[in-house]
Structure 1
Amino acid sequence: MQEIFSGLIVSLDVVALYLLITDVKSRFLLSMWTAILHMIFPVIGFTLGNWMLQIFMQWSNIVSSILLFFIGLQIILSSKNGHRTLPIGLLAITASLDTFSVSISFGMLNLQKYYFILSAGIWTFILSYIALHIAKAGILFKGTPFKWIAGLSLITISVYTLWDQ
């Protein structure tokens, strides 16, 4: 269950970003690319996290908690997004890079990799596609609350992980 919730959390910053982009022509393609990258980057991150777990067995919970805390903090602090036009591929990569660093932490915690990866991909596709349609329709949403929710959720997971140690 934690993996499914974590997949939802990492997709919220994409929603915050994509709600601000009104002029995307290929919303389905962008959503699909972002979802795929939200599944590829965690595979790399989990692999790296498992490798780090073997090296830093004693320190893995502390290191992963610190990583999650600062990633959550970075998401909150980056809530100032301006309007930018980027190519779809670059936009999808930019929106998906945080899943790499988050998945390193989750890999170090030995979470179920495939549940998280599937959850991140599915949630990201659904929520980004909806966000892009909402933005295209001109409904004004600010992405900041979604970034705050995602950031605070990661910080909460990091504190819980450290506390549960």
Structure 2
Amino acid sequence: MQEIVSGLIVSLDVAALYLLVTEVKSRFLLSMWTAILHMVFPVIGFSLGNWMLHILLQWSGIVSSGLLFFIGLQILLSSKNPKYSVPIGLLAVTASLDTFSVSISFGMLNLQKYYFILSSGIWTFIMSYLALHAVKTGIPIKNAPFKWIAGLSLITISIYTLWEQ
């Protein structure tokens, strides 16, 4: 269940980011590309996390909690500077990099990678497409609540993980 909820959490950050993008010609393709990247980066991250698990077995819980905490903190801090001037394709890549870091932590905790990967891809497609559609139709939605929910959720997961050690 933690993997499915985490997939939703990382998609909220993308939705918050895409609420700032006003000129997108192909919302479906951008949403699909971002969803695919949200599934590719975790595969790499899980592999790296499993490799790190064998090397840092006794430190993995602390390291993964720290990674999740600082990723959540970075998401919270990024809500202060909502201006982006990145090409759309590169925007999808940068929006997906957090799934790499989160999946390293999950790989170190030996969580179910396929649930997270599928959840992340599906939720990201849905949330990014809805955000891009809302911007195009002029529906006024603030992106800060999405970033706060995502950031605080990752920090909470990191504290819970550390507590369970």
Scaled by the length of structure 1, what TM-score is found?
Answer: 0.97
| 1:36 Cα deviation after fit | 0.2
| 1:82 Cα deviation after fit | 3.7
| 1:92 Cα deviation after fit | 0.7
Scaled by the length of structure 2, what TM-score is found?
Answer: 0.97
What amino acid does structure 1 have at the position aligned with 2:24?
Answer: V
Q: Give the Cα–Cα distance (whole angstroms) in 2 for the partners of residues 26 and 97 of structure 1.
A: 22
Q: Give the Cα–Cα distance (whole angstroms) in 1 for the partners of residues 82 and 147 of structure 2.
A: 14
Q: Give the Cα–Cα distance (whole angstroms) in 1 for the partners of residues 86 and 163 of structure 2.
A: 41
What amino acid does structure 2 have at the position aligned with 1:105?
Answer: S
Name segments (4+ residues, structure 1) moved above 2 Å: 80-88
| 1:88 Cα deviation after fit | 2.8
Tell me which residue corresponds to 1:96.
Answer: 96
Identity of aligned residues (%): 82
What amino acid does structure 2 have at the position aligned with 1:44?
Answer: I
TM-superposition CA deviations, 1:56-104 (whole Å, max 9, x none): 0001001000110010000000013444454332111011111111111
2:64 is the alignment partner of 1:73: no
Cα gap change, 1:75 to 1:82, in 2 (>3 Å): closer
Unmatched 5+ residue regions in structure 2? none
| 1:22 Cα deviation after fit | 1.5
2:22 is the alignment partner of 1:22: yes
2:108 is the alignment partner of 1:108: yes
Q: Give the Cα–Cα distance (whole angstroms) in 2 for the partners of residues 82 and 71 of structure 1.
A: 17
Tell me which residue corresponds to 2:143.
Answer: 143
What amino acid does structure 1 have at the position aligned with 2:156?
Answer: T
| SS across alignment from 1:134 | helix
Unmatched 5+ residue regions in structure 1? none
Q: Give the Cα–Cα distance (whole angstroms) in 2 for the partners of residues 81 and 128 of structure 1.
A: 19
What amino acid does structure 2 have at the position aligned with 1:99?
Answer: T
Tell me which residue corresponds to 2:31.
Answer: 31
Q: Give the Cα–Cα distance (whole angstroms) in 2 for the partners of residues 15 and 156 of structure 1.
A: 20
Tell me which residue corresponds to 1:131.
Answer: 131
2:145 is the alignment partner of 1:161: no
Q: Give the Cα–Cα distance (whole angstroms) in 1 for the partners of residues 113 and 96 of structure 2.
A: 17
Moved more, 119-128 or 133-142: 133-142
